[in-house]
């Protein structure tokens, strides 16, 4: 094998790995709804979920996870996507609205934060 053939093979392997991670990230961002994980979390703390939904436009200003967006010229970290959900829970007859932030990255499992 020549050096050129080795470089081509390594490039194809790298492209395949990046493509697989892109498919994984696309599935977690576009298709997966995380209802099972959210229900399990609230079940552990003794609450039952009534509804899990995306925030409405008028509710987005009340988001406790709001971040300021800043762009750096050379970003070295992988792409991060944030999704937000609202879970209406029932605890002993009292309804409460809980915000959930879902942080999706290339090489990590999605992280769910509850507020």
Q: Are 63 and 83 in contact (CB under 8 A)?
A: no
Evaluate whether 66 touches 106 at the Cβ level (below 8 Å).
no
Cβ–Cβ < 8 Å for 82, 101: yes
pLDDT in tens, 55-74: 998 988 888 988 766 666 66
Percentage of the chain surpassing pLDDT 70? 90
Nearest 5°: phi and psi at 108?
Answer: -125, 160
pLDDT at 75: 57
CB 87 within 8 A of CB 71: no
Q: Are 112 and 35 in contact (CB under 8 A)?
A: no
Give this prediction's pTM.
0.78
DSSP state of 101: E
Cα-flanking dihedrals φ and ψ of residue 75, to 5°?
-90, 120
Q: According to the model, what pLDDT value does residue 60 have?
A: 86
């Amino acid at each position: 094998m020549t050096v050129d053939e080795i470089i081509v093979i390594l490039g194809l392997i790298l492209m395949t790995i990046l493509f697989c991670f892109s498919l994984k990230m696309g599935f977690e961002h576009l298709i997966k709804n995380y209802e099972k994980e959210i229900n399990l979390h609230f079940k552990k703390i003794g609450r039952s979920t009534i509804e899990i939904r995306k925030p409405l436009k008028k509710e987005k200003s009340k988001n406790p996870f709001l971040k300021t967006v800043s762009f750096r010229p050379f970003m070295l970290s992988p792409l991060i996507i944030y999704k937000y959900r609202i879970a209406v829970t029932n605890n002993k007859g009292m309804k409460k609205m809980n915000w959930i932030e879902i942080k999706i990255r290339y090489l990590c499992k999605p992280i769910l934060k509850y507020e």
